[in-house]
Chain A
Amino acid sequence: MSADSNIGEEEIIAFLMDELDEDKKLMVQKALENDPRLQKQERMLADSLRLIEKSCKESIPKIAEEDWSLSESQKEKIFSKGDPELDESDNEINDHSTEGKQSRNLLFWVPLGVAACAFLIVMVSEPNKQKQIESAAIINDKTEETKDVIQGKEDLILNEDIELNQMLQNKAQEGVNLALAKRTTTEVLAMNEELKKVPSLADTFALNDSPPSPKMSLNSKVQELASLVDPKNGIKKKQNREEENLSLNLKSMPPQVDVEPEPQSLAMAKSKQKEGNSSPFALNSRMEAEGSSIFESEPRILSSAEKTSKLNVTSDPIPVPTNASSIPLVAENNQSLQKENGYDLIDRSKSVYLFTPKAKALGKVKIVNRIDQNLELLRLLETRLGKSTLLSGEDYQLRFTSDDEPVIILVGNLKRKEQEEDERDPENLNDLSSYFFEIKEAWELDEKEIRKPYNLNSPE
């Protein structure tokens, strides 16, 4: 606006559109003539008015009610490209574009991480599912109970941990299976060992002193029953009660114990048949005799409860033993077994090894002769590997091993047999030295490699 005439753009526009009265029109006209700046404004406004007039004579495009905006990707591109050149005055814009970058990074990395986790879970869980199927096939009753408990708890676990917990559960079940399998095998071997083993007198006392246990054999129960029976008075009165107790006790025993002791009692009863029916083992003999028909008709293994029930229905009275003391009879029985098995076990051994008193191995030996407790042996491979002949000494050990037999250790004095040169037969024995071994002690190694005294009697 001109300072002199108070003429500005609005007056010029009104002048150009002929909207001023005559006085103002003259005044503006006069000002425009004198002021070049106003002249310039007047030209600009006049051109604009002409353009507007021309535009209005043409059709003015109507703006549709649409979304006149760029796509998100285009906006993102604009602001991401503009970041490096933004100055501090555009903090708001800068913050916005940073958020855009962060969101873009999250959009990239989060799905990638989720996909990677899913892949790992699938890779880990696949072999476990296979193991689960395999382990499920071999689950026994106890492991099923354990599984039920674990599965019951598993319901409370979040879905994310199901795979991991399933894997741990499978491992636990495998461990339980292994433990059960190992224990069962151990018990079975122990039972077999017990059948083959010739119990000593000390073992018998230890067995009687020990509290009743599931591992206590049926024979012990019978002995206990027999010891309580009065040989002359009241045997029939007590019989039913004792048989009831026996049946109750047997019922409480685990099934695996019920089955196993039976052959032992029968074997012991067989061995006692030579002694006559006056011993408590006559009970077993009678059971066997009367049950023979039952066993023949029912060859399956009977449970203890069934056996007891069959015993209860037997109407015949049990023969009264003349001597109720069972311990000497057991000793006699053991002795008879030892007479059968004592040195035979040594003679049956496939391999015999010689050890020094300090348990240093000296190699394999061959028993060539045995007279009572004196063994004559040849040390095999003596001339090989730099082995030298041995001097005489005490507490040497001979270890006898054989399949399915316990390891027998004989401790005794070793003495080299003096031989003349003419007596040697180098062709057959490779010129080996002969030794005498006098037995002083005998031991037996159990499954845990623990020594037990071995009652070694001279064979008849």
Chain B
Amino acid sequence: MREWFDKLEKPLMIYAYQIVHDRAEAQDLVQEAFLRFSRQKDEILEPKAWLYKTLRNLAISFLRKNNRLQRTVDEDQLDFLDSMNRQVESNLITDLEKNEAISRVKHSISLLPNESAEIIRLKFDQQKSYAEISKATGLSLSNVGYKLHHIIKDIAHELESEGFFK
């Protein structure tokens, strides 16, 4: 319990703040997530994924209670209707989950060290090759590949463990 708290207190606080944009609310949400974790920790196989998933659900519930999420959904729905010309409601839910996944990935990237975050940015934002990234960062070609693969694998496993890939 203590180990997971020391390890995930800061990332979870940042993640909650990135969702609700309120520091006090983020603290309360993280506290509630750890309280629930303390009550169910014997049944939890992957504590990190469980804590992230629980915290995300708590944050969404909080936004819904405060009519902040509904407005966003409505706006997204209007945009979607305008752009896609009528789609089913299930697709709205899928898009919502997709947004959650994107938010989760952005959170993971924000937690990366500057060097790793720069490699990700060069690769996915600027569409640089390994060689170009190697040249830009001064890292060896193999080292760039190794770092990139590890970052992507970690994010993929986090998303998978948190249920984004059903």
Contacts and interface: CB of A to CB of B under 8 A. Distances in A.
Interface residues of B, number: 47
Nearest to A83: B38
A321 to B, nearest CB: 112
Contacts of B34: 78
Contact of B101 (A51, A57, A86): A51
Contacts of A13: 148-149, 152-153
Given A19-B130, A90-B1, A63 B35 contact: no
Given A68-B10, A77-B35, A58 B102 contact: yes
A14 B144 CA distance: 12
A9 interface: yes
A254 interface: no
B41 A74 contact: no
A59 to B, nearest CB: 8
Nearest to A87: B42
Nearest to A46: B156
A56 interface: yes
A159 interface: no
Contacts of B42: 85, 87
B18 A47 contact: no
B1 A82 contact: yes
A212 B160 CA distance: 116
Given A77-B31, A77-B35, A78-B35, A60 B152 contact: no
A3 B105 CA distance: 31
A75 B109 CA distance: 27
A78 B123 contact: no
A57 B9 CA distance: 28
Contacts of B14: 63, 68
Candidate in A54, A55, A82 with the most chain B CB atoms within 10 angstroms: A55
Interface in A255-306: none
Contacts of A51: 98, 101-102, 105, 155, 159
Contact of A52 (B120, B160, B164): B120
B35 A81 contact: yes
B43 to A, nearest CB: 11
B5 A60 contact: no
Interface in B46-105: 98, 101-102, 105
B135 interface: no
A34 interface: no
A322 B104 CA distance: 137
A19 B120 contact: no
A58 B5 CA distance: 30
Given A48-B152, A48-B155, A86-B1, A56 B125 contact: yes
B109 A56 contact: yes
A53 interface: yes
Contacts of A53: 124
Given A10-B149, A55-B106, A48 B2 contact: no
A69 B117 contact: no
Interface in B103-129: 105-107, 109-111, 117, 120-121, 123-125, 129
Nearest to A41: B156
A85 B105 contact: no
A63 B112 CA distance: 11
Interface string B134-166: 000000000001001100110110011000110
Interface string B1-42: 110010001100110011000000001101100110011011
Given A70-B31, A74-B31, A60 B109 contact: yes
Contacts of A93: 1-2
A241 interface: no
Contacts of B155: 48, 51-52
A82 B152 contact: no
A68 B111 CA distance: 12
Contacts of B38: 78-79, 81-82, 85
Contact of B39 (A43, A47, A60, A85): A85
A74 B27 CA distance: 8
Contacts of A44: 156, 159-160, 165
Candidate in B31, B129, B130 with the most chain A CB atoms within 10 angstroms: B31
A451 interface: no
A454 B38 CA distance: 102
15 contacts: A13-B149, A19-B129, A19-B145, A45-B156, A48-B155, A51-B98, A51-B159, A52-B109, A52-B155, A54-B102, A56-B120, A58-B106, A70-B30, A75-B5, A85-B41
Given A49-B124, A63-B14, A90-B2, 17 more contacts: A9-B149, A47-B164, A51-B98, A54-B105, A57-B124, A61-B107, A62-B110, A63-B111, A68-B14, A70-B9, A70-B31, A71-B27, A78-B35, A82-B38, A85-B42, A87-B42, A92-B2
Interface of B: 1-2, 5, 9-10, 13-14, 17-18, 27-28, 30-31, 34-35, 38-39, 41-42, 98, 101-102, 105-107, 109-111, 117, 120-121, 123-125, 129-130, 145, 148-149, 152-153, 155-156, 159-160, 164-165
* 8 cross-chain pairs, A with B, having the tightest CB-CB distances, nearest first: A82-B38, A48-B156, A56-B124, A93-B2, A68-B13, A55-B105, A56-B125, A68-B10
